[in-house]
């Protein structure tokens, strides 16, 4: 069974641009969560989607948004990129019943 797949693995963007990251969950998993990982702040929750609805949201500005499709695949978008948005963005999927979450390899975003 395939794991959580995130694309792209690496991305370099310029300040002010926007970016879209993609996550394909494990087959059968309906919940997809996104996290930002930085050396200074650690792993921080961005948002969670379940059955195409945002079910939970972290404390990030509105520049960070996401969505989930009917096949449970999810995308997150960051608009008006800032240098501080440089981070590893991780996606996790689970069944949606408060069970173990499995992470993808992440997308390393660098904003220059």
Q: Does position 70 bind another protein by CB under 8 A?
A: no
Alpha helices for the chain (secondary structure H): none
- The residue written with tokens 């970016």 in the block is 19
20: contact with another protein by CB under 8 A = no
User: Could you tell me which residues come within 8 angstroms of residue 47 by beta carbon, excluding any fewer than 6 positions away?
Assistant: 33, 34, 54, 56, 57, 58, 60, 64, 66, 76
- By beta-carbon proximity to another protein, the closer residue of 14 and 44 is 44
Contact between 60 and another protein per CB under 8 A:
no
Other CB atoms closer than 10 Å to residue 58's CB: what's the count? 14
105 lies in the site for another protein, by CB under 8 A: yes
Q: 8 preceded by cis ω (within 30°)?
A: yes
67 near another protein, judged by CB under 8 A: no
What is the residue whose two structure tokens read 């008006």? 80
Judged by CB under 8 A, which of 24, 48, 74, 111 binds another protein?
48
Among 12, 16, 38, 55, binds another protein (CB under 8 A): 55
Binding site for another protein (CB under 8 A): 4, 6, 31, 33, 35, 42-45, 48, 50, 55-56, 58-59, 90, 92, 94, 96, 98, 100-106
């Amino acid at each position: 069974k395939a794991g959580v797949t995130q694309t792209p693995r690496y991305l370099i963007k310029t300040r002010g641009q926007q970016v879209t990251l993609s996550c394909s969950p494990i087959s059968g998993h309906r919940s997809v969560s996104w996290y930002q990982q930085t050396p200074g702040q650690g792993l921080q929750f961005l948002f969670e989607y379940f059955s195409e609805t945002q079910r939970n949201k972290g404390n990030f500005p509105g520049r960070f948004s996401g969505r989930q499709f009917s096949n449970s695949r999810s995308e997150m978008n960051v608009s008006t990129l800032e240098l501080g948005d440089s981070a590893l963005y991780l996606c996790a999927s689970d069944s949606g019943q408060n069970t173990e979450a499995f992470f993808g390899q992440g997308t390393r975003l660098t904003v220059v």
